[in-house]
Homo-oligomer: A and B are copies of this chain.
Amino acid sequence: MLTFTSDYIAGAHPQVLAKLVETNLENLSGYGTDIYCQSAAEKIKAACALGDEADVVFLAGGTQTNQIVISTLLAPYEGVIAAQTGHVSLHEAGAIEYSGHKVIQLECKNGKLEAGVIRDFLRTYHADENKEQMVLPGMVYISFPTEYGTLYSKSELEGISAVCKEYEIPLFVDGARLGYGLESYDNDVTLQELAALCDVFYIGGTKVGALCGEAVVFTRGNLPKHMSAQVKQHGGLLAKGRLLGVQFDALFSGNLYFEISRHAIEMAEKLKTLFKEKGYDFFIDSPTNQQFVILENGRMKELEKEVNFCFWEKFDDAHTVVRFATSWSTKEEDIEALGKLL
């Protein structure tokens, strides 16, 4: 069975796994204080061109990371601005609200917030005489790439960053698929530029080569106080923090994180070409590892017998939008095999 269901269908990249095996019997201190967490943090800061002002915290998964970053950076009475289709808005089972904060959902295009829309919202909020009865917007959350595979251009990021600075609220970039964004052929922003434009972001591991793990980068001396205690309070502190440190140490040794991301993009481009050649329509033009294809329902049923992919949404009564995802683990032969089925 061919499988393109998601970008978390395989285990870890072999080099990541090898590092886990290699270090397995070393005796290390707990809760993220070990040498691999430290080493990985240093490598990540170097890759981001950040110095001592930056802090790196390793967490196990994306929803956990969004919940912890948002709730530790916001005041208890603040909410977070996000796209209506943002992961925190729709697909985290209410994890942000569970931590007491409103997700202020703004309209978006192709999964992306626009600087102008954010500025208008903030201006209107601050001009409202009844604003103390509303939730104070205390952060902007965007995803890079977005949930629809789309990317913010450097100038779009600069625009959003400028609004955040104007209103003195942090910009948080969810990088669950960061590698696939950075390595996209369409991307024009570097990791260093991204780090400079936001206050906090995370480098996704779960979807990019790790068994689990996200590396959160607080870029400017803004690590929340007592962060280790707060992570534990949220249930997110792993006793064997090494599990995350070792994996990110491997991913940021040499250029591994970027190379394996590049592979996923190359596979996605092949897949895209394939669908185009066969005359399929795309729901959205995605330059990253997630491709959203519109399938006629009968065709979909047929295809499901030999390929796993992901239901996305109903398109119309006769068609469905489905997602095909590539990843570091996608094999070229699988793309070719898929081609024969289309």
Contact = CB atoms under 8 A, between A and B. Distances in A.
A111 interface: no
A236 to B, nearest CB: 6
A6 B30 contact: yes
Chain A: interface secondary structure? Answer: loop
A8 B30 contact: yes
A206 interface: yes
A46 interface: no
A91 B229 CA distance: 10
B101 A97 contact: yes
A337 to B, nearest CB: 13
Interface in A232-277: 232-240, 242-243
Contacts of A39: none
A19 to B, nearest CB: 11
A90 B11 contact: no
Interface size class of A (residues with CB under 8 A): 35 or more
Interface stretch (A73-81, A152-160, A184-192): A73-81
Q: Which of A8, A28, A233 is packed against the most chain B CB atoms within 10 Å?
A: A233
Interface stretch (A126-134, A194-202, A279-287, A291-299): A126-134
B92 A8 contact: no
6 cross-chain pairs, A with B, having the tightest CB-CB distances, nearest first: A64-B235, A11-B24, A93-B232, A94-B135, A3-B27, A97-B102
16 contacts: A21-B21, A62-B239, A64-B235, A67-B235, A76-B76, A77-B229, A90-B134, A94-B100, A94-B233, A95-B233, A97-B97, A100-B100, A132-B232, A133-B229, A211-B243, A212-B238
